[in-house]
Amino acid sequence: MDLLHYFEPVDFELFQTEKKFTRQNLGYYIEKLTLQTTPGQTGKAQVALAGIPDDRKTPNKGTSLAPAEIRKYLYRLSNFDADLKIIDLGNLKPGKGENDLYFALRDVVDYLREAGVVTIFLGGGQDLSVGIARAFQGKDDFTLSVIDTRVDTKTSREVSDATNFISRILRENPQLFHLQFIGIQSHVVPPSLLNYLKEQTFDTLHLGQLRDQFAAVEPALRNTDFLSFDLAAIKQSDASGHFDPSPNGLYSEEACRLARYAGLSNRLSVFGLFEVNPVFDKSGLTANLAAQIVWYFLEAVIHRRAEDPKTDKAPFSMYYVEMEEMGEPMVFYYHPATNRWWLEIHCGEGISWTVACHENDYKQACQQEIPDTWWKYARKTDRLSK
């Protein structure tokens, strides 16, 4: 597959008109590695950046301008002490229609996942998540996480776009294993929709819940394959570059922290940063923040550890917790070096999961309470088996 056939290359000189990149700039190394990339190959790249200058299916017109604006700030940020090989593939060609673009996204993600390359998509509307999700249709434990203010689903027969892309993903992925929404706000999400998501064993982490125990979101992102981040989830005072910003939302520091948790996840292979609109971002504040969010994601990728109790139990401490109600012990794995936990869940003959969890799950079990994580996966297995 000639990967570069899908892209218009980046003109790095456009971002060096005021001052040339130096060895202190991230852009210096991205440019150097990108220009060494041969057609159809990613070389030794660990991370690939890709812009999507497309806003055909979002009401937030202007997001097609976002890739260039984000790059302008990203390339100027500091480089890393450790060696992280990043290439910028350029901007994805739009094709004749949305389906052309979605299929191109699927092909690109398929190729890069197989090559072990983490992909970061910049710009465009959040509907682009539909094309990216298609690359995971054959994965039986595909988990999608969405950072957003609201849950973008259909309420009637309206045309599919960024305001209801979740409905299309669910329709195209009827066996979607898990879907979780992070940072949603109750005043824009109807109770009936929340009840539906709960019935489907999907998770919602409201903004207030997130603030009460921020670290609890880390296992959710550790279990994620694809993170779709709508910049509208950030409050207007920190990111005004959107046609419909909200006075409430994530703080900029919280957004960067979420990106870092995502970057640390060995499982996460795609990160999409959508709905940045330079038309409403006269000061460049939102594009600058988007660049910093990407930077913290990249910095975390450097610190990824090959820790997986399913394949190598040696580095882990194992804890067996006798559960009177279950008649058999629960098995927890703890990695001392990273202070992270996993839970082994058996849900019937031949069905088991080893999933990231929080220390609180272990503490619940020690008090003879079945952890919320266990219940979630037990119900999920039952739903998917029907």
Answer whether residue 307 is part of any domain: no
How far apart CA 167 and CA 157 sit, in angstroms, is 11
Answer whether residue 217 is part of any domain: yes
Domain count for the chain: 2
Residues 144, 169, single domain; the answer is: yes
Residues 276, 379, single domain; the answer is: no
Using pLDDT thresholds of 50, 70 and 90, give the confidence band for residue 332.
very high
| Closest to 244 measured CA to CA, from 147, 150, 130 | 150
pLDDT of residue 17: 75
Residues 292, 332, single domain; the answer is: no
How far apart CA 133 and CA 240 sit, in angstroms, is 28
Residues 206, 136, single domain; the answer is: yes
How far apart CA 25 and CA 42 sit, in angstroms, is 22
Answer whether residue 138 is part of any domain: yes
Q: Decide which of 328 and 22 is more confident.
A: 22
Complete edge-to-edge strand list for the sheet that includes strand 203-206: 7-8, 86-92, 47-51, 118-122, 270-274, 226-230, 143-147, 178-184, 203-206
| Closest to 164 measured CA to CA, from 155, 152, 172 | 152
Confidence check: pLDDT of 384 > 60: no
Separate counts of helices (H) and strands (E) for the chain = 12, 13
Answer whether residue 350 is part of any domain: yes
| CB distance 145 to 132 below 8 Å | no
Cβ burial of 174 (10 Å; 0-12, 13-18, 19+) is exposed
What is the domain-level CATH number for residue 272? 3.40.800.10
Using pLDDT thresholds of 50, 70 and 90, give the confidence band for residue 87.
very high
pLDDT tens per residue, range 1-19: 788 789 999 999 999 877 7
Answer whether residue 8 is part of any domain: yes
- The predicted model scores a pTM of 0.95
Answer whether residue 37 is part of any domain: yes
Q: What percent of the chain has pLDDT over 90?
A: 77
pLDDT of residue 111: 94
Instruction: Copy the structure tokens of residue 266.
Output: 């060995």
pLDDT tens per residue, range 133-184: 999 998 989 999 999 999 999 877 778 899 999 999 999 998 899 999 999 9
Residues 178, 327, single domain; the answer is: no
pLDDT of residue 30: 96
Residues 229, 341, single domain; the answer is: no
Residues 234, 366, single domain; the answer is: no
Lowest mean pLDDT among 103-107, 171-175, 300-304: 171-175
pLDDT of residue 349: 67
Residues 261, 331, single domain; the answer is: no
Residues 288, 336, single domain; the answer is: no
Q: What percent of the chain has pLDDT over 70?
A: 96
Average pLDDT along the chain: 92
Last residue of a domain, one of 302, 337, 362: 302
Domain that holds residue 269: 3-302
β-bridge mates for residue 145, sequence order:
180, 227
Report which secondary-structure segment, H or E, holds 119: strand 118-122
Residues 150, 17, single domain; the answer is: yes
Lowest mean pLDDT among 219-233, 298-312, 339-353: 339-353
Answer whether residue 308 is part of any domain: no
pLDDT tens per residue, range 191-243: 999 999 999 899 999 999 999 999 989 999 999 999 999 999 999 999 999 99
Answer whether residue 137 is part of any domain: yes
Residues 156, 204, single domain; the answer is: yes
Residues 253, 343, single domain; the answer is: no
Lowest mean pLDDT among 183-192, 260-269, 314-323, 346-355: 346-355
pLDDT of residue 348: 66
